[in-house]
Structure 1
Amino acid sequence: MNTAVQQTDYDALSCKVSAISKHYLPCPRQIEECGFRDYSGIQMEYIRVLRMLSRRAYGKISRAVSSTMPVMNYGTYLRTVSIDLSIEEFMRKHQDEETQILNLGSGSDLRMIQLLARFPKTTYIDLDFQESVKLKAKVLRNSDQFVNFFQLNSSEGEEINTDRYKLLTADLKDVPRVLELLSRIASKKVPTLILTECVLCYIPQAESQQLIDSVAEYFTHGKWVSYDPIGGNKVNDRFGTIMQDNLRESRHLEMPTLMIYNSPESYALRLKNISHNIHIQIMWDYYMNEVSDEEKNRLKALQFLDEIEELEIMLSHYILLEATW
């Protein structure tokens, strides 16, 4: 099961590379509001080193990029931009304070580079399975650009533990281990943003709820940002059932809570123990209301998209949740 979940990181990475290569990312709002610089260059450097270190991983990503449809590029665009802007809101609110970002199930995500460069009082923590951490650490250590940025030593290691950036191993289902790790590397009192990006959906209900409640309780002040699929609760809505069947057949992978938290209202209940200030949006609504007409026209010019109904169906089954305490 762990290996199957780890494979989803290749999916996410290939989707991001595709969106970058087709110029969906970075978008004007990321550049203007988030101050992103050399966004594409950072990602392409990671891919360059990954190709050198793991032909198998690079091959999977390359094949996926070549077959990515426009509807998927739209989805990656909205997923990435909505999360980036949510993080930016938190960082601006606390820009004069020490802050922490905790990325649970971080995979190959590289947000830490832009954020650490812009916010010198921030510490960034990536936690994931051992194999994912090992590969990411190896990529970062084999790039002069990344070595210089993180000030990494030349010694080999399966993890990274610098003053401001931590890339460490943890099985998120083992909540006591996660808490023990946090007790050694994270401050309870520093405002902390916790990110779960397509992560909670792969963890069984009891373990995922324990993770949410325990990690949130650990920090005095925080913001939880979660991006996840929902199964759908309307009559004749078979999106969740089809998604589960496809994952079982093609990946031997389960989403144990997809149909439990199958609507925005039920998904919000996951955070009810930690916050009364919860905001949740369906991504189709986000696209319609948060993306300007000018930006919609820019996206349309990138690729011809004739699957508008398919796009609406897909985006109606993904949510962005923000909870603060």
Structure 2
Amino acid sequence: MSDCTDAAIQATCNDASVCKKYAVDKGYWMDRFISYMVPGRIQRKQPEISRGYYARTNSIWLLLKRFLTRCSCTCQIVSLGAGLDTTYWRLGSENMLPIRYIEVDFLDVVVRKIRCISAKVPLHSCLSDFSTQDDESCLHCGSYHLVSADMRNLGELEEKLKQSGIDYSVPTLFLTECVLIYMSPEKSNAIIQWVAEKFSDAAFINYEQIHMNDTFGQVMISNLKARQCLLAGAEACTSLKAMEDRFINVGWHNAQCQDMWSTYNGLPDKRKIEQIEMLDEAELLQQLMEHYCLCVAIKESSDFGLESLLRF
């Protein structure tokens, strides 16, 4: 993958953070930390975009809290391609931190996030043993770890997780949001299989594009290609069943995939947030959400009840 493509992929971090900040400012959900990651006023976004991010953020949030509750927080969360995400701080504000929370991303993104954390007291005051960083490629503070790695290189990823103190003996949840699709299926499947082989009790939450082989999907691919974002893994994102099978085929005990339109309609605050902004084209929202999905896979050897994550 070329450097220009990597830079374009990293630019999607900005897009996502800005859209989340706008949605939070409008009241779609509460996140008092995102303004420290993304300061200033945000240009208006279409209601379809904000509702999409509401569905994405809140469905994952509910699953994370369910996982933490099942494990009594004696567990780990690994966020691959975390960007400027603020989930660690949100969980901390609710006294729901796991024993280890690891974020991984490209070096440039990690450097930017470390500088932001260092500059904002409300962010670094939540981290134990925080000190000014000489090495901006990583941050290790108590339960929080932020490291840089090219996730297409499984050996490098594994080494960075080891440096973060990863414990293969405790329940661990891996989270990817629009990450795997930027890798070839061979590379992403290697990560999925590695997790299944290394952990006896694990969950994997993957938010990603779906139905990439229909007309709408092809337009999405073309639009991203114009921005030098090549969806190298699009061929693995053809159907809900294909998304489930990629986990089952490499050792996960169970997997369930659901498009975001179905997920959105099942969220408890849906009617409330629909009062925030009027929506002109409901059909466009449905079509857009039907081209994103949430896939949850579990592998359980103990009795934590991780099967409950499959009901979303």
SS at structure 1 position matched to 2:147: strand
Change (3 A) 1:296 1:161: closer
Partner of 2:26: 22
Q: Choose which of 82, 86, 104 in structure 1 pairs with 2:59.
A: 82
Partner of 1:298: 272
Q: Choose which of 33, 44, 56 in structure 2 pairs with 1:42.
A: 33
Q: Choose which of 76, 79, 89 in structure 2 pairs with 1:113.
A: 89
Change (3 A) 1:212 1:131: same
Separation (CA, whole Å) in 2 of partners of 1:100 and 1:297:
33
Are residue 99 (structure 1) and residue 103 (structure 2) matched? no
Q: CA RMSD in A?
A: 1.7
Deviations 1:190-217 (A, max 9, x none): 1101000111111111111111111332
Are residue 154 (structure 1) and residue 132 (structure 2) matched? yes
The residue identity in structure 1 corresponding to 2:220 is M
Deviation at 1:239, TM superposition (A): 1.2
Deviation at 1:137, TM superposition (A): 0.5
**Equivalent runs, 1:170-185 vs 2, <5 Å:** 170-184=149-163, 185=165
The residue identity in structure 2 corresponding to 1:284 is W
Q: How many pairs does the alignment contain?
A: 290
Q: Contact 1:116–1:124 (CA<8 Å) still a contact in 2?
A: no
Separation (CA, whole Å) in 2 of partners of 1:244 and 1:71:
19
Partner of 1:3: 7
Are residue 190 (structure 1) and residue 164 (structure 2) matched? no
Runs of 4+ displaced beyond 6 Å: none
Q: Choose which of 276, 282, 285 in structure 2 pairs with 1:311.
A: 285
TM-score by length of 2: 0.88
Say which structure is richer in helix.
1
SS at structure 1 position matched to 2:37: helix
The residue identity in structure 2 corresponding to 1:168 is V
Change (3 A) 1:278 1:220: same
**Equivalent runs, 1:132-281 vs 2, <5 Å:** 132-151=109-128, 152-158=130-136, 159-184=138-163, 185-232=165-212, 237-249=214-226, 251-272=227-248, 273-281=250-258
The residue identity in structure 1 corresponding to 2:103 is D
Greater Cα shift, 149-158 or 3-12: 149-158
The residue identity in structure 1 corresponding to 2:190 is Q
SS at structure 1 position matched to 2:126: helix
Greater Cα shift, 119-128 or 136-145: 119-128
The residue identity in structure 2 corresponding to 1:192 is T
Deviations 1:36-85 (A, max 9, x none): xxx2x21112223xx7xxxxxxxxxx6xx414100001100000001001
Partner of 2:262: 285
Could you tell me the percent identity over the aligned residues? 29
Separation (CA, whole Å) in 2 of partners of 1:85 and 1:112:
14
Separation (CA, whole Å) in 1 of partners of 2:75 and 2:152:
25
Separation (CA, whole Å) in 2 of partners of 1:121 and 1:20:
24
Separation (CA, whole Å) in 1 of partners of 2:116 and 2:86:
12
Deviation at 1:131, TM superposition (A): 0.3
Separation (CA, whole Å) in 2 of partners of 1:304 and 1:282:
23
TM-score by length of 1: 0.85
The residue identity in structure 2 corresponding to 1:310 is L
Deviation at 1:246, TM superposition (A): 0.6
Separation (CA, whole Å) in 1 of partners of 2:298 and 2:240:
17
The residue identity in structure 1 corresponding to 2:100 is T
Change (3 A) 1:15 1:120: closer
Deviations 1:277-320 (A, max 9, x none): 212111111122x134xx33322321110211001101111111
Q: Contact 2:196–2:202 (CA<8 Å) still a contact in 1?
A: yes
Separation (CA, whole Å) in 2 of partners of 1:87 and 1:317:
23
Q: Contact 2:205–2:296 (CA<8 Å) still a contact in 1?
A: yes
SS at structure 2 position matched to 1:90: helix
Gaps of at least 5 residues in structure 2 are: 300-312
Q: Contact 1:194–1:225 (CA<8 Å) still a contact in 2?
A: yes
The residue identity in structure 1 corresponding to 2:257 is I
Separation (CA, whole Å) in 1 of partners of 2:68 and 2:34:
22
Separation (CA, whole Å) in 1 of partners of 2:263 and 2:278:
21
The residue identity in structure 1 corresponding to 2:6 is N
SS at structure 2 position matched to 1:247: helix
Q: Choose which of 296, 303, 308 in structure 2 pairs with 1:322.
A: 296
Deviation at 1:121, TM superposition (A): 4.8
Change (3 A) 1:157 1:183: closer
